[in-house]
Chain A
């Protein structure tokens, strides 16, 4: 059961990472662009099981 829960967490990370990337593509404000990638970094580091 705990393995399934952990997988669901990785799924959540993937889902919200996709949201960040989508919004990054759409936004025209350069500050928002940088900020979206800053907040994306921890999500991707965990998603790829690096940290």
Chain B
């Protein structure tokens, strides 16, 4: 049997197409299903899920795990959120280090290391993100999913042509309906991302949370950077913490108040809709800048970029960038030290609801030893102490 030339050409094209489809599909599948081990420390009291607070999220990809550390209910309670925007890795890594290392002497520490699990399984079309990144540890490398800013369309599709925020009715860009830091305080019959925020709001109310810290990173061309954004009801704590950070931790961090006009953000809506005081922290991540050069894991972890530096020389940045970049150890260290100081200031002024924690590495520890030093080896962990995100 002889094939016509046109037919033969079609077969060749289809074969090439299938190779492309299989290779790319396999890569996407692997990054969506990459399991990240997390070795819980001695302080773990309970691992709950968001569906324990709002059954409406049961069975959804975003039924995130909540690690409850310490069980002194008479003390105060803090909720720490990492991975609301998983493309900002310092937040997730800081949450990781707390869960694996903290000792809670008074009160309780609740941590959600991946507040938007769906967003952690996707990378941005057009963004050229690496699928994952690895942190060097004394026992080998630990791999983490790269993630995106928005929930994965595989879990929430379609978008509206314009996103109308609940309950303010403020109009926002359509894709921000999948942005977890635009969907607070959430909606029980809303989209998956809105339901996730609603579940977290219920958690804050039911667990009587005093402080919420939402960990983020920002591009250097964005004015809200290297700062603690706080709801007006927490301004004293933030201001005092910022002073303590400068004097004790070895770096400076600003304080900004949550603007009333910008809706859907954790630092505004949690403060307005729950008794808790919300803080949002931003560290610099040159990887997110629109002027960045080659987009790869190295840029993500070192924060070194020639083009962003050039923008800085022209006065276009709101944070300095030199040849040392913004290494991930520095960014995670800033988050951890800021959390430690906020908790300290809270306890000093709220003796009836104290939170006392130990053994969380500070900024200086991370600069000296690196993040990997504090990550636990899952292969050597006792059974029942390894969880997967």
Whether A and B touch directly in their complex, counting CB atoms under 8 A apart, is answered as yes
Interface string of A3-37 (1 = CB under 8 A from B): 00110010000000000000011001010011001
* B154: A residues at CB distance < 8 A: 46, 49, 51
| Contact across chains for A45 and B21 when beta carbons are under 8 A apart | yes
* A51: B residues at CB distance < 8 A: 24-25, 28, 122, 154
| Contact across chains for A41 and B20 when beta carbons are under 8 A apart | yes
- Known: A6-B157, A28-B6. Is A45-B17 also a contact (CB below 8 A)? no
| Contact across chains for B28 and A9 when beta carbons are under 8 A apart | no
| Contact across chains for B191 and A2 when beta carbons are under 8 A apart | yes
| Contact across chains for A50 and B25 when beta carbons are under 8 A apart | yes
Q: Is B9 an interface residue (CB 8 A)?
A: yes
**What is the chain A residue whose CB lies nearest that of B191?**
A2
| Contact across chains for A30 and B21 when beta carbons are under 8 A apart | no
| Contact across chains for A33 and B9 when beta carbons are under 8 A apart | yes
How many A-B residue pairs lie within 8 Å, measured between CB atoms? 41
A51 and B122 alpha carbons, distance in the complex (Å): 8
A24 and B157 alpha carbons, distance in the complex (Å): 28
| Contact across chains for B158 and A30 when beta carbons are under 8 A apart | no
How many residues from B make CB contacts under 8 Å with A?
18
Q: Is B29 an interface residue (CB 8 A)?
A: yes
CB distance from B133 to the nearest CB of A (A): 19
| Contact across chains for A50 and B9 when beta carbons are under 8 A apart | no
* B29: A residues at CB distance < 8 A: 50
A28 and B154 alpha carbons, distance in the complex (Å): 35
* A25: B residues at CB distance < 8 A: 10
* B25: A residues at CB distance < 8 A: 45, 48, 50-51
**What is the chain B residue whose CB lies nearest that of A29?**
B6
**What is the chain B residue whose CB lies nearest that of A45?**
B25
Q: Is B173 an interface residue (CB 8 A)?
A: no
CB distance from A25 to the nearest CB of B (A): 8
Q: Is B381 an interface residue (CB 8 A)?
A: no
Q: Is B14 an interface residue (CB 8 A)?
A: yes
| Contact across chains for B157 and A37 when beta carbons are under 8 A apart | no
Task: Name the contact of A33 in the complex, choosing from B13, B153, B158 (C-beta under 8 A).
Answer: B13
A10 and B15 alpha carbons, distance in the complex (Å): 25
A48 and B28 alpha carbons, distance in the complex (Å): 11
| Contact across chains for A33 and B10 when beta carbons are under 8 A apart | yes
CB distance from A22 to the nearest CB of B (A): 13
* A48: B residues at CB distance < 8 A: 25
Interface string of B174-195 (1 = CB under 8 A from A): 0000000000000000010000
| Contact across chains for A45 and B158 when beta carbons are under 8 A apart | no
Interface string of B153-175 (1 = CB under 8 A from A): 11001100000000000000000
* B14: A residues at CB distance < 8 A: 37
CB distance from A19 to the nearest CB of B (A): 16
| Contact across chains for A37 and B24 when beta carbons are under 8 A apart | no
- Known: A9-B157, A49-B154. Is A37-B28 also a contact (CB below 8 A)? no
Q: Which B8-62 residues have a C-beta within 8 angstroms of A?
A: 9-10, 13-14, 17, 20-21, 24-25, 28-29
| Contact across chains for B157 and A41 when beta carbons are under 8 A apart | no
Could you write out 18 A-B pairs with CB less than 8 Å apart? A2-B191, A24-B10, A25-B10, A28-B6, A30-B13, A34-B13, A37-B13, A41-B17, A41-B21, A45-B21, A45-B24, A45-B25, A50-B25, A50-B29, A51-B24, A51-B25, A51-B122, A51-B154
Chain B residues within 8 Å of A, Cβ to Cβ: 6, 9-10, 13-14, 17, 20-21, 24-25, 28-29, 122, 153-154, 157-158, 191
Give the top 3 A-B pairs by smallest Cβ distance, nearest first. A50-B25, A37-B17, A51-B28
